[in-house]
Chain A
Amino acid sequence: MSENPKIPILELQESLGSPIDLEIRTIESKDNLPVQITFLRGLADPTPVINVVTQNNLNSLTETAFTAAGKVLRGNRDIPVKFYLYSGATIIYAPSREPFAVITKSMAKRVPSEPVNESSIRGPRDGFVEDIYDNLSLIRRRLPDPHLQADELTIGRRTQTKVAVVYLEDVANPDLVAEVKKRLTKIDIDGVLEPGILEEFIKDNKLTTLPLSLTSERPDKIAGAILEGRVAIMVDYAPQVIIVPITLNDLYQAPDDYYFDYWAGSLIRIVRFIGNLLAIGLPGLYIALIGSSPQLLPISFGLTVAGLRIGMPFPLYVEVLIAEMMVELLREAGLRLPRGTNQTLGATVGLIIGFALIQTGYISTPTLIVVGISAIASFSSPQYPIGLTWRILKYILIVSASFLGLYGFILGAILIAAHIAGLSSFGSPYTVPWGPWQTTGILDSIIRAPHWLRLKRPQAAKPNQPNRGAKYPKE
């Protein structure tokens, strides 16, 4: 404790290396005595603190006086007070007093807007933002339930990222909640910048390419999952929220399915399902049938395709791989191009290159058609990660079909199916509701049963309350 507040400030400046955003000000109290404050510009707004200082005498400027301005925090041996500068605090150095911090955050924030990657035709248009408290408020507005719990964790040695575990206390399985918290607290890493980093740590099977958790930017989707007894994991500074546990079935569901009529919802899901089968299987099946087992095709069809491939310099599987690589490059380039030009440029370049390849005879037309359909179909899933997974797994089918034709394709498909069957997400089998069979889940799988039939919660998360319409328990 120093009589002259300038000394600890000089020490602070020296220890922090005089960064450009460190601001130090001297303010006079009501009795014209100097008080030093310091804060990081862009993170904190000192106005509330300045108001308190100027309206009170120096003797009255205790920690209690500043509670109206924000949360007051003292430093200790483990966490020196200067650390709170990075949390948006203003540190007050008054003569003959220990410095203390007042949280006066003022960071640039985004207003909730429609998620870019999860737009819908019907339903709410708000999406999560980069502030964990704003995100939690979006959930609480939809679930004003006193049982909605949000437990805080801090992960990341350097980033000290706030993570919230959100669930319905009376619905979520307590073992599930405990397991989620256990896996999160085990994470020892220097920084968490995005929920995807956490996902890799908490996965049941760390070697699989299939997503074992679901992320969404939509509050309605997350609220719906919480109502089913699942647990949401919110990460500060990230608009994506993680949901666990999930099944493969959950990756094909979109909020739109529930807002439209059940006939429309079911049709959309069937289309998605077929689309994903095409995405993963069409190139491999093409190689298997045309390249290795043409005798299994109708004669006229086989002859037509064979005719279009006359004179091709490469074997069929090489053609398919070239076409696939071209599509992947265009896809990746399209993501990096500036907005406004990416669609036009991507389409134009794709058309030109595709046309040129056909004209020069490097790739046949059927190959380009097959690969194109597969590429489009991979976007039919509402969840981007599963589309990425099918993009990776289809190469297994391409390779197996190249070696052993239709037999190889079948074995490759069995291999992938077996791998999927062996996966779990926080103890829930990934293939539920088809294996093991769960009737409640089947009503919300490829088809979307009417809401008046969906009276039981899916059992994937083993919720405490299986019935959706269970009488609200008394306090």
Chain B
Amino acid sequence: MPKNLAPTRTLTSKLFIPILLLSLLTFGFSFDRNVVTPSVGVNTYLVIFIGFLFTVAGLLMIKSLACKYPDQSIIRLGNKLLGAIGGIGTAVWLVVIFSLAALLARRVTDEVSAIILFRTPGYVSTLAFLLIAGYMALLGEEALGRLSSVMMFMLPLLLMMLVLSFRQVNPANIHPVNIYRDLGYLKQWDLWLLVFSPVWILGSFNGGESIRGHFKAVILTLACGTIILGAASLAVAGAFGAKGIARFQWPVMSLMNITEFAPSYFFQNFITTFYFIIFISFAAVTVAGFLIILSKGFTEFLGLKNSRSKLMLFIIIAALIVLSIVSTQIHYKETANFLLKTGSLYTFGYVVLLWVGSLFQRRERK
């Protein structure tokens, strides 16, 4: 097919940005409540804002790398900038993404098993989810981008749910920013690091053209996602109440309980149903995105030809299914999950390390 008509090989910003936004919202909605402690609950939105600032800094580092080393993957950069350490570092990077994908899959499917499928074994839900995500990954980045772009039409539903939940948010929940007092919330790095981890993961692998050429659009998208997450945190924090003791098990339950529009069961279930539709859809896109990153990453890391990346994808899907079902480490219910904390810290730290390494290297000409 002529080049003019052939599907684009690199992910354009039009297709990358929706994937980025959906991934950010997925991680934000799925994980933040699990690491939110009552003491920080009322200021989760502030912590997310701090995370946004750090993430912009991280994206600036990624942009610097993308401009200095155009169209080079993080694996190649790791070897080039960090030598042998880079090889180990990249391998760990890939393993962390693998773990995050498994965690997200379990996060989704365990909730489904708890609320919808009581009598179905949990592994069936996980298997079905990962097969669908695997199929999406097989279709490729461009298809994933198109699907994410279509799914953006679910955002108004999400915003509607948020707006409804704001009825119970009162000024006591909104603390004016006091730099001196609120610096203490920087201690909650494990919260915002996890929430924003897909941003630098996707940015490092897929965002080359977008981060270089459309940085403003990426930051704007990130800002929108942060505002939505912050608002959601505010709404969830509102359910804590002034004493900060009462805590609802699921975000959607808090939405249902605090909205006065939902005295009838129907409306509550309307919200529940749409919450699940949105959450499962977004999570599937995120896991598929991670699978694509893993297949490409492992293919390059092992020095295989690009044509083998599909075979690598099959292997990764199989391994992910086994890990998600079998491993006892893949759980998220604890507020201080070791894998979550260290994994997200590592993914950010590695970007910083590469950037620091690039400072001591000359700019590479195309």
Contact = CB atoms under 8 A, between A and B. Distances in A.
Given A424-B7, A427-B4, A404 B124 contact: yes
Interface string A387-431: 000000000000000001111101100110111011010111101
B146 A431 contact: yes
A310 interface: no
B147 interface: yes
Given A298-B265, A436-B149, A426 B132 contact: no
A414 B269 CA distance: 21
Nearest to B143: A422
Contacts of B6: 427
Contact of A173 (B4, B150, B276): B4
Contacts of A406: 116, 273, 276
Contact of B280 (A178, A414, A418): A414
B149 to A, nearest CB: 3
A15 to B, nearest CB: 44
A419 B12 CA distance: 20
B75 to A, nearest CB: 26
Contacts of B272: 296
A243 to B, nearest CB: 16
A421 B132 contact: no
A19 interface: no
Contacts of B172: none
B12 A436 contact: yes
B298 interface: no
Contacts of A355: none
B263 to A, nearest CB: 12
A437 B143 CA distance: 13
Contacts of B266: 297-298, 301
B70 interface: no
B145 A435 contact: yes
B214 to A, nearest CB: 13
B149 A434 contact: yes
Contacts of A417: 147, 150-151
B14 A410 contact: no
Contacts of B117: 292, 404-405, 407
A27 B142 CA distance: 70
B5 interface: yes
Interface stretch (B133-141, B185-193, B358-366): B133-141
Contacts of B132: 411, 414-415, 418
B129 interface: yes
A176 interface: yes
Contacts of A404: 117, 120, 124-125, 128
A462 to B, nearest CB: 7
Contacts of B142: 429
A79 to B, nearest CB: 33
Looking at chain B's contact residues, the main secondary structure is helix
Nearest to A428: B5
A179 interface: yes
A176 B2 CA distance: 8
Interface string A172-186: 010110110000000
Nearest to A248: B150
B153 interface: yes
A437 B14 contact: yes
Nearest to B128: A411
A205 to B, nearest CB: 11
A293 interface: yes
Contacts of A429: 7, 142, 146
A297 B150 contact: no
Contacts of A407: 112, 116-117, 125, 128, 276, 280
Given A429-B146, A431-B149, A436 B14 contact: yes
B85 to A, nearest CB: 38
Contacts of A453: none
A141 B132 CA distance: 50
Contacts of B153: 434
A108 interface: no
B10 interface: no
A436 B151 CA distance: 11
Interface string B318-351: 0000000000000000000000000000000000
A299 interface: yes
B264 interface: yes
Nearest to A434: B150
Given A422-B140, A435-B148, A410 B280 contact: yes
Contact of A427 (B5, B18, B129): B5
Interface in B243-299: 264-266, 269, 272-273, 276-277, 280-281, 284
A418 B143 contact: yes
A414 B153 CA distance: 14
A427 B7 contact: yes
Nearest to B138: A422
Contacts of A418: 132, 135-136, 139, 143, 147
Given A427-B1, A427-B4, A436-B12, A421 B147 contact: yes
A404 B265 CA distance: 23
Nearest to B13: A436
Contacts of B104: none
Contact of A408 (B128, B135, B145): B128
Interface in A428-467: 428-429, 431, 434-437, 462
Given A296-B273, A298-B266, A415-B132, A175 B5 contact: yes
B115 to A, nearest CB: 9
A418 B7 CA distance: 16
A406 B117 CA distance: 9
Contacts of A428: 5
A462 B14 contact: no
Contact of A462 (B5, B129, B147): B5
A406 to B, nearest CB: 6
B15 interface: yes
A292 B120 CA distance: 11
Given A418-B139, A427-B5, A434-B153, A410 B276 contact: yes
A137 B134 CA distance: 50
A175 B6 CA distance: 10
Interface string A160-195: 000000000000010110110000000000000000
B145 A436 contact: yes
A410 B1 contact: no
Contacts of B265: 298-299
A171 to B, nearest CB: 15
Nearest to A183: B1
Counting chain A CB atoms within 10 Å of each CB, the highest count among B14, B120, B147, B151 belongs to B147
B280 A411 contact: yes
A414 B120 contact: no
Contacts of B4: 173, 175, 427, 462
Contacts of A178: 2
6 contacts: A175-B2, A178-B2, A299-B265, A418-B135, A421-B150, A436-B146
Given A295-B269, A405-B117, A414-B136, 7 more contacts: A179-B1, A418-B136, A421-B144, A421-B150, A429-B7, A431-B147, A434-B150
**A-B pairs, 6 with minimum CB distance:** A427-B5, A435-B149, A435-B146, A422-B143, A298-B266, A422-B139
Interface of B: 1-2, 4-7, 12, 14-15, 18, 112, 116-117, 120, 124-125, 128-129, 132, 135-136, 139-140, 142-151, 153, 264-266, 269, 272-273, 276-277, 280-281, 284
